[in-house]
Amino acid sequence: MTRASTRKPGEATGDDQAAVPRRLLEHATKLFAKKGFDRTSVQEIVEAAGVTKGAMYHYFGSKDDLLYEIYARVLREQTRQLESVASSDAPLRERLAAAASDVVVSSIDNLDDNTIFLQSMHQLSPDKQKAVRAERRKYHERFRGLVEEGQRSGEFRTDKPADVVVDFYFGSVHHLGSWYRRSGSLTARQIGDHYADLLLDALRPPVG
Amino acid sequence: MTRASTRKPGEATGDDQAAVPRRLLEHATKLFAKKGFDRTSVQEIVEAAGVTKGAMYHYFGSKDDLLYEIYARVLREQTRQLESVASSDAPLRERLAAAASDVVVSSIDNLDDNTIFLQSMHQLSPDKQKAVRAERRKYHERFRGLVEEGQRSGEFRTDKPADVVVDFYFGSVHHLGSWYRRSGSLTARQIGDHYADLLLDALRPPVG
DNA sequence: GTCGGCATACCGACCGGTCGGTGTCCAAAG
DNA sequence: CTTTGGACACCGACCGGTCGGTATGCCGAC
């Protein structure tokens, strides 16, 4: 299945040479983001990917499965990234700022996945939805751990529950897709740094 | 259309007595929020509302229309509320705090509408989608005006573009529906105040 | 009698998923 | 070297069912 290639030298090159499951995932992501999960027919996906329905159902159990795989890939990647940043030996504020900024950048880099997350999660079958939520929860908890660490050390204000702060921040992040346009004047990194600044400054202990 | 009632004295009372369009809107809202727009059939809506398809298509041009009316109602109400708070003669910080907190409270009070907004906006026909966006834009601009006012007066930091701050904040607000549960320990007002505090404090000029 | 306010029966389009079949490659048998 | 068999990757016609929308008719109020 992961065999690199069985194609002959004379075959068409370009987009065609990618493995079929890859191509399906790729085009499905684009279509789901653009038209929504329910409005995208399996027929459209396979046509975009240049294969047939038979091929798709050979690799994926259902249309649902396709969506799930997209989620799983993104979640794995984001979790990996957060873990690597959060467990470095830099000072806490730097670690949180890096994590906050990175999640913005990666959300913008993969705007499509982000959009799908927002709009189509609830259309997964209940058990798959549960799996996704569980993974997502772990991610949030790791992030929250950073906030709580700062609260214990006195660097951050303690009059706001950490989970409220985390939900506050990830609300902003998840909604990037609804307003961010690549044609805008700010780069992903700039937005990420702005967002991280806003978060960190909101966490400063009140002057009172 | 807004005729109060043509029912006879002996008819069933209770939920039935509400006008038909109202009932349709009400049940459609619940169903759309619970199952998503595409997954809710017209049949389900009319059954929940206790009428038939004929009735629905008598009052609404399409299923799309139903969704649009739901949006329009919410938008009108939120815009009205913002306008009333923003144009009072209280100090700027208080006006912004009130606006920020109020939008959270009203979003929680109408969690269903909020959820629909998030998930189903892009399923409207392009022209209706444009109308909704335009209205939404006006709302954001009014809110942004408050931020800019504070930036000009020196009360707020000027190193973050006002529109980034506004998008940041409304991201958080729009996402309330994905985590807020009425069974939680915080009231809508408490969350609203927390959110408003976070926003106001994030806007404090940096200590430099 | 005609008009608003529905009810009912029905239509055509489309959708996710299935299933019998086909071409290709490789490995073991002869 | 040739044959055979069968695993794998894929094809595409087809099916049952659902959906948004419509056509038509009835019925009470004016």
Find the nucleotide nearest B43 (Cα to C1′): D19
List CB contacts (< 8 A) between B176 and chain A.
Answer: 171
Residue B152 in tokens: 């000009």
pLDDT (average), residues A136-154: 96
What is d(CA A121, CA B174) in angstroms, rounded to the nearest whole number? 16
Residue A20: the pLDDT is: 86
Closest residue by C-alpha to C1' distance, nucleotide D19: B41
3-state SS, one letter per residue, for A99-148: HHHHHHHHHHHCHHHHHHHHHHHHHCCHHHHHHHHHHHHHHHHHHHHHHH
| A114 Rama class: left (phi>0) / alpha (psi -120 to 50) / beta | alpha
In this predicted structure, the answer to whether residue B102 has a pLDDT above a threshold of 60 is yes
Q: Do A36 and B122 lie within an 8 Å CB cutoff?
A: yes
Residue A17: the pLDDT is: 58
Name the pTM for this structure.
0.89
Residue B79 in tokens: 């815009």
What is d(CA A119, CA B25) in angstroms, rounded to the nearest whole number? 22
Chain segment B30-67, per-residue pLDDT in tens: 999 999 999 999 999 999 999 999 999 999 999 999 99
Residue B34: the pLDDT is: 93
In this predicted structure, the answer to whether residue B1 has a pLDDT above a threshold of 70 is no
Chain segment B136-186, per-residue pLDDT in tens: 999 999 999 999 999 999 999 999 999 999 999 999 999 999 999 988 999
Which of A3-17, B24-38, B99-113 bottoms out in mean pLDDT, i.e. has the lowest? A3-17
Chain segment B8-37, per-residue pLDDT in tens: 322 333 445 568 899 999 999 999 999 999
What is d(CA B144, CA B150) in angstroms, rounded to the nearest whole number? 10
Largest CA distance in chain B: 74
Length in residues, chain A: 208
Residue A208: the pLDDT is: 60
| HSE, side-chain direction, 13 A CA sphere, residue A199 | 35
Nearest to B201 among A170, A195, A206 (CB): A206
Residue A114: the pLDDT is: 87
Residue B173: the pLDDT is: 97
List CB contacts (< 8 A) between B207 and chain A.
Answer: 204
Report residue B175 CA to chain centroid gap: 12
Chain segment A15-39, per-residue pLDDT in tens: 455 688 999 999 999 999 999 999 9
In this predicted structure, the answer to whether residue A11 has a pLDDT above a threshold of 90 is no
Tell me the CA–C1' distance in angstroms for A3 and D5: 23
B202 near A CB under 8 A: yes
Contact yes or no for A108/A188 (Cβ under 8 A): yes
Find the nucleotide nearest B53 (Cα to C1′): C7
What is d(CA B173, CA A164) in angstroms, rounded to the nearest whole number? 12
